[in-house]
Amino acid sequence: MAVKILLDPSMYHPHLSVAQECRKAADLGYEYLELSPRADFHEWHHYPKVDTALIAEVKTAMAETGVKIWTFNPVYNWSSPDEADRRHAVRCLRRLLQIANELEVPLIATEFSGDPNQPLKSEAAFYASIEELIPDFEQYGIECTIEAHPYDFVEENSRAVQIVRGVDRDWLNYEFCCPHAFHLGQGSTDVRSMLAYAGPRLKHVHIADVFNHLANVGNRYIVNPPGVDARIHQHNEIGNGEIPWDDVFGYLRETDYDGPVSVCVFGWEEHADEIHVRMRERIESELRR
């Protein structure tokens, strides 16, 4: 299997530049980065802050280290029911596609966004944004994978896959995020069935562990006040959670999955290097047999 193992360097964002993160990835044995949102590049919902000098700096770092940024992982509210917000998101994505083209980044890995309390209006906004951006994606030959993030307008696996199918473009596909699995399955632990439902549309997998927030009558986590309109999850190291990894890796091996898998552990900065090495070694042992 020729999977690409990507490092999401989120835990290094506060103290390393993007160029330095390329060097850090090389030190940890990674060949690829998934560049998640950061204030000096593509911050959540903000216009990208990238100029010619920064592009040159990152190009130099990639050439020196052999580490390639394989994906940008932006969060823009392109499904917002508010038309001004939606237009802003499209503008941001257009600029990010230009930057991706400059840096030869082949994939945008993003989220549905929108408003879970206005799902129909959000779905309409999503398709409107996609229609506007189709010429840009196809001009640059850049692919896109989309995940259903907790508190997006769509949070359930099968519905998210259906919405992706509705676009019906070879370059736009589905990303399954393991640490969101218990939201995607509404508490179900049958991850294999969720992956199988995506079928050939499964082109990207995020790897991190999480505890089932709906287990133990919902008392695994306690959020106050009761009934608050919020979502909770974690991005932990494999083994620090309840994802059935034998099923995840077993399905990927059985289907000869050869797309990217991204290591996206957050919130453990004091152990970041050790965690990322262990995660890479585990994935290599499972998917490069």
pLDDT at residue 219, as a whole number: 65
pLDDT at residue 60, as a whole number: 98
pLDDT at residue 79, as a whole number: 98
Intervals of the chain under pLDDT 50:
none
Query: pLDDT, tens digit, for every residue of 74-120?
Result: 999 999 999 999 999 999 999 999 999 999 999 999 999 999 999 99
pLDDT at residue 77, as a whole number: 97
pLDDT at residue 93, as a whole number: 98
**Buried b or exposed e, range 107-117, using 16+ CB within 10 angstroms:** bbbbbbbbbee
pLDDT at residue 217, as a whole number: 60
pLDDT at residue 210, as a whole number: 83
User: Residues 209, 214, 217, 219: is their CA dihedral positive or negative?
Assistant: positive
pLDDT at residue 213, as a whole number: 62
pLDDT at residue 115, as a whole number: 96
- Residues 108 and 130: their CA atoms lie apart, in Å, by 13
| Reported pTM | 0.94
- Residues 196 and 250: their CA atoms lie apart, in Å, by 12
Q: What class does CATH assign to 4-287? A: alpha beta
pLDDT at residue 285, as a whole number: 96
- Residues 112 and 159: their CA atoms lie apart, in Å, by 12
